[in-house]
Amino acid sequence: MSRLEKLQFSLGEFRKPLNAALCERDSYTQSHCARVVAIADELGRECALPEEEIGMLRICASFHDIGKIGIPDRILLKEAGFDSDEWEVMKQHAVIGERIIRAIDAEGADEIATAVRHHHEHFDGGGYPDGLAGEKIPLWSRIMSIADSYDAMSTTRPYHKARGQAEVMGVLLREQGGKHDPYLLGRFTHLVARGLNA
């Protein structure tokens, strides 16, 4: 049994109840995670990652926002922008998610937990929670960052309307080298130009 198969087997019993719990708190986040899985999968394939790596990436993406279970409703479900104190609380979802995944006794869970922790790091070091930069940010985290940003801007939320693909890509390209890995964003741009299936 491969590392991926072992992890899928071990996490299988945890994934459904964790996702159900998150859906009870915030149904948007559950559907967002499903879309991020699909986008990350396509970007991983565009980058010619091996199948096992893509499988691990899919697991990471499915759990990337699981830490939002630990964010108070008054912040998680707020229908406007966050003030500075609320934003500091919201940023903790990456660390909470890491703790949740690390608590699962499964081979490979630590790699998933690390990628979840760092999915809001920025390529220039300006992200959170640890201010990692460049290739010190795990590859899966850098891929999820692009998928997460693309989906967040492409969907309607109480505090913003969905943006069209051209506008979303314009924002992402302006963030190249700042928020996002230039190489990965280049691959994503090619993928979108050919037609994103997610």
Residue 120 structural domain:
3-194
List per-block mean pLDDT (blocks of 10 residues) for the chain, which spans 198 residues.
Answer: 70 73 80 94 98 93 94 91 95 97 87 97 98 98 98 85 94 96 98 87
Question: What's the pTM value of the predicted model, to 2 decimals?
Answer: 0.93
**Cis peptide bond upstream of 129, omega within 30:** yes
Q: Classify burial at 57, counting beta carbons within 10 Å of its beta carbon; exposed 0-12, middle 13-18, buried 19 or more.
A: buried
Spatial separation of the C-alpha atoms in residues 120 and 13, rounded to whole Å: 27
Question: pLDDT at position 79, please?
Answer: 85
The structural domain count of the chain equals 1
Query: Under 8 Å CB-to-CB from 44, ≥6 apart: which residues?
Result: 53, 54, 57, 143
Strand partners, 157: 160
Q: How far apart are CA 117 and CA 67, in angstroms?
A: 9
Burial of 27 (0-12, 13-18, 19+ CB in 10 A): exposed
> For residue 174, what is the domain's CATH number?
1.10.3210.10
pLDDT tens for each residue of 123-177: 999 999 999 999 999 999 999 999 999 999 999 876 778 999 999 999 999 999 9
Three-state secondary structure along the chain?
CCHHHHHHHHHHHHHHHHHHHHHHHCHHHHHHHHHHHHHHHHHHHHCCCCHHHHHHHHHHHHHCCHHHHHCCHHHHCCCCCCCHHHHHHHCCHHHHHHHHHHCCCCCCHHHHHHHHHCCCCCCCCCCCCCCCCHHHCCHHHHHHHHHHHHHHHHCCECCECCCCHHHHHHHHHHCECCCECHHHHHHHHHHHHHCCCC
**Chain centroid to CA 172:** 15
Are the beta carbons of 4 and 109 closer than 8 angstroms? no
